[in-house]
Structure 1
């Protein structure tokens, strides 16, 4: 009898919770985190390109795996709705919410980690800023074209864009004179030589890119054979030049420091032995894990083949 009463209570609670969740206005649980225009934090298993729930921003949300991130993009659901994906703050997992778009839904290309995706977003009912080819158009219909400056500002390039809500015109001004032999062109600032590490910091992985005859060539900072010094490049009169200490083309990393290679760029830079040791150990562990995973895959395939042959 008591068991039946207990079971009845559980069923009643379940029915109540189901009814509440059906009419609850939010999609992110009691936290209320699924409200449009809300910033949300990424988690160790979820990554959101637009950092929250923003229906007017085309984005993608990724499920983080051991060796990759699998992204799902925001998608238009018909002409008046968008399916917005985000990282749920309570569970840390990817979640989706369908949001109405009074002004309609459009798709556009976005770039994430070097890859191009197509994602949807809401557009304002009456946008006061609209992107056009080579610039933007404001609510009065005036066109603002990307262009070089005039007079004393002639060596600057202004790029116009709309903010995320398409409610304001933004202007980004780039000073072309900061580039080696920098000049303003119709496509933006251009220079004969570009240094990613203008301060020639030996603790930063740097590179120099030189343009000759329309072709680009990149010179990476490189570690010496013993791993105790680094060769750095800089721009000089539109050309690449090695940073020298006296007559030596090598810069010493210093006491208790070594030169390591940056995985992302391939450029060398100096680092403390302790930090470098931790990095090397982590890389070694990753290689071991990868090797074990490969062996497990081979064994699983062998077992599968044995099963099918039997």
Structure 2
């Protein structure tokens, strides 16, 4: 728990973080709606404003991982990247003959040039099992925005992910966050996947439209956010307080725990309140991406109220 007595809505005492499972997979459709914040794309390399909580993304290890991180594949992720103004003039657009014909007919966003490639050759360039739909874009992963850029002014909803590593679930959370009008996502730099490859495919283009801040320390980031006027609500299945009662219309950071361990102790102690999603059916827990979608819906409803 933060020791700053001037911070609003800080509660005394320590919280015991709960667990939220993260082994399931995404569901639902993403319609590419333009509603909500900054749907035109975001700059992967904005000028830094010097927040100590923000740090550049560390590079991934291993050739296979690096290769996957160099590619976006599938119609929604590739088209979203092509439409992102920050991507103009960058990347290598690869398409099968029929898909290239469609692109030429409909117009390629930001005047990217397309290279026609055989489907089997394209499959050999991508990780095994990648569903490319005849499209791939070789481009550098997005680096992220600064915490200050994401948090000011203090209004709306931000999602913080505490060491989530499953790409399918992180991608699904990006989709839900975009759909419910969240300002952006905060992740810890050392323990989160890059916004490319399978994650971008699962996000169906949301990673190109929703800003993401990578920070060195989540606890310090929560302290900074509190100073800027944000209130942190952590999801914990063992909490006595329900999510509905914990949320209000103040600027809210929804904190989601990792696959196996839930919200870590120090991160939980920097939350203003921990809350659970009531499950009258008696099932033990929800997949983290499903829990995030429910929390985002409830938080956006409270914001409207």
Q: TM-score, normalised by structure 1?
A: 0.21
Which structure has more helix as a fraction of its residues? 2
Which structure has more strand as a fraction of its residues? 1
User: Between Structure 1 and Structure 2, whose CA radius of gyration is higher?
Assistant: 1
